[in-house]
Amino acid sequence: MSSPEPIRSLDEPFDQPPDPTRRRLFALGGALGIGILGLTSQLWRLQVFGGASYRELADNNRFRLSRLEPARGVIYDRNGDTLARNRPSYVVAIVPADLPREPDRARTLRRLSRLVGVPVGRIEAALNDRRADPFSPVPIATGVETSFAYTVEERHAELPGIQVLVKPVREYVDGRLLSHTIGYVGKLDADEFKRLAASGDYALDDQIGKMGLELVREKELRGRPGRKRAEVDSTGRELRVLGTDPAKPGRNLHLTIDLPLQREITRLLAEHMPAAEVASAVAIDPRDGQVLALVHLPSFDNNMFSRELDEAEFKALIDDPNKPLIDGAIGGAYPPGAIFEIVTALAGLHAGVIKPETKIECSGALVIPDRLAPGGVQKIPCWTSHGPQDCASALANSCNVFFYQVGGGDPRGSFDGLDIDRLADWAAKLGFASQSGIELPNEADGLVPTKAWKRRTYREDWFTGDTYNAAIGQGYVTATPLQVANLVATVANGGKLFKPQVVARTTDERGQTVDGYKPMLVRDLGFDPAKLKAVQNGLRYGMLIGRTENGTNFTGSSWQSDLRDLATAGKTGSPEWGTPDASGRSPTHGWFAGYAPFDQPQLALAVFLKRGRGAQDAARIARGVFSFYFGVAEG
């Protein structure tokens, strides 16, 4: 019996199907590998490439670095009376980074809109403008009432991301009284922020000086901001202060302005408004150039710029034909009329054209031979017939005939006058036709013409008749009230032309003087004492009636404005300007320029009325100013 054949299939492996578990493990391992690689890459990006920025974002969820606004410097008058100060004001603002996510964000903005009365669209627009800086507060409502600020604070749980900030607001104690000199502050515009942002001292919502001393002394008044580091909660509410770098307050300005004098001059000028349309006055201490009063009407209330200015209010200021935003005391140039005869007299005496005792006959007009009509004459009128006049009486009487000839010469050829170029040169030495350098913006140059100026401007030759007009302060001649005040100050002090100054000193937050007053002498004209005395006497005689030492008569153009108990000196002017009326008469400015006391001058004064109704109104105002300042009765 044969043995059975072995079963070979038992030695061969089974044909098994693939194991699905192993395949899943491979897939899971691959996915985990990819995930770990992605996580590692993300961690690398967060830690290395974006580490600093993400750490800052994380810290800002717990810590907040905020600015501490510096206290703007206070402005005082010479007596220590406050003129400009800071008062606290509440601002409702949003910190964009602290707003909740949608839909809570929209709900928060709707609640805020109803509360402050600002449309949601405007709030969104303000937030969009500041997307690049999510941690800085965006003001939504400024100048809110204290009770309202408390209401917003009490509802902070309903208003995440909303803060109530205390912001200083500039307050001008006397508003209109010194608005042109002090100026005002306003919000930074885009160009200003771009220029100043690099300094780190300004934020987009800061205010900056826009006019007057607030503008020119911005750097000193501003101070430097500080920093505060605080811990905040998820809604941006401050939990505790971790540290501060205190702000540095701005310096205080102590002006040369005498507030009671400024107030009294304003009152006296206001009595002639609105008939005068425009009125200015400048008072200077002739001993050192300190400006004691600088008044211009119409004025404006600079407090209106410390709040959200109504568009209609601003338009009214801009459209006002009398331009209340312009300081006419330094920025308005007008024909000075007979006031300019002081310049002509000083120039004629020192150039040797006349002597103090020189007499010129005034028959009521300057008679000029008419070259176009043989035997005929032309007449340039004086306002009356004065008879023989020397320099002092001609100044007192405002005798045009005398000064026509000092400027342009005797038409009969007996002597030559100054001629226009020499007259213009002397006027420039006395501060005309150029800015005085006062520390205020927008000062006007004024004008004293020359032959070259007329040729360049009008393409015409200069005529002797032009010189006659210029010699009495008409024609093309213009000057500012400040230049006129500085002229009489220079005559009063013996020939020293000072730069007018309005800041007496600056002090720090402890009241310590940082920078004291230093008189700034522009030039000493070195006047001959005898020649200067003739001019000074002429101004004194302008307040009197009498006879000079040379025997010429005068009835001073301001004789009704002299004070019994105070010797004053002065001169009036009433130049014609504008369009003649139906009767052929032109309107006149009213000028007065003078000083007191006569022997020891302490106050030099210029008064200007655009519609002066002659010069006497200006002289009466000056009388009131001298009476008030020196404490003497007007009777």
The architecture (CATH level 2) of 268-293+330-502+520-630 comes to 3-Layer(aba) Sandwich (3.40)
Say if residue 3's pLDDT is above 60: no
- pLDDT of 386 reads 95
**CA 348, CA 351: separation in Å to the nearest integer?**
5
Q: Residues 470-492: pLDDT tens digits?
A: 999 999 999 999 999 999 999 99
Of 154-168, 393-407, 515-529, minimum mean pLDDT range: 154-168
**Does residue 52 surpass a pLDDT of 80?**
no
CATH number of 70-150+161-255: 3.90.1310.10
- Decide if pLDDT at 89 tops 50: yes
Domain definitions of the chain by residue range: 70-150+161-255, 268-293+330-502+520-630
pLDDT at position 53 = 55
Cα(281)–Cα(603) distance, integer angstroms: 12
Alpha helices in 280-340 (DSSP H): 311-319, 328-331
Instruction: Please tell me the predicted confidence (pLDDT) of residue 352.
Output: 96
Q: What is the pLDDT of residue 1?
A: 47
CB atoms within 10 A of CB 361: 11
Give 129 or 513, the one with higher predicted confidence: 513
pLDDT, position 57: 47
Q: What mean pLDDT comes out for the span 605-616?
A: 88
Dig out the tokens for 22 from the structure: 């192993």
> At residue 230, does pLDDT exceed 90?
no
Q: What percent of the chain has pLDDT over 90?
A: 59
For the chain, how big is the Rg over CA atoms in Å?
39
For range 170-174, the mean pLDDT: 94
pLDDT of residue 607 exceeding 80: yes
Average pLDDT of the residues in 332-344: 97
Residues 160-197: b if buried by 16+ CB within 10 A, e if exposed: bbbbbbebbbbebbbebbbbbbbbbbbbbeeeebeebe
Secondary structure of 525-562 in the HEC alphabet?
A: CCCCHHHHHHHHHHHHHCCCEEECCCCCEEECCCHHHC
Give 157's pLDDT tier (boundaries 50, 70, 90).
confident
pLDDT digits (tens, 9 = 90+) for 278-324: 999 999 999 999 999 999 999 999 999 887 777 888 888 889 998 99
Say how far apart CA 206 and CA 197 lie, in whole Å. 11
pLDDT-derived band at 462, boundaries 50, 70, 90: very high
Residue 456 tokens read as: 């360049």
Q: How confident is the model at residue 98 (pLDDT cuts 50, 70, 90)?
A: confident
Tell me what percent of the residues of the chain surpass a pLDDT of 70: 89
Helix, strand, coil share of the chain (percent; to 5) = 35, 25, 40
State the pLDDT confidence band at 441, using cuts at 50, 70 and 90.
very high
Rounded to two decimals, what is the model's pTM?
Answer: 0.85
pLDDT, greater one: 421 or 373 = 421
Provide mean pLDDT across the span 161-166.
86
Helices (H), 200-310: 212-216, 218-222, 259-270
CA distance 543 to 110: 73
Average pLDDT over the chain, rounded to an integer: 89
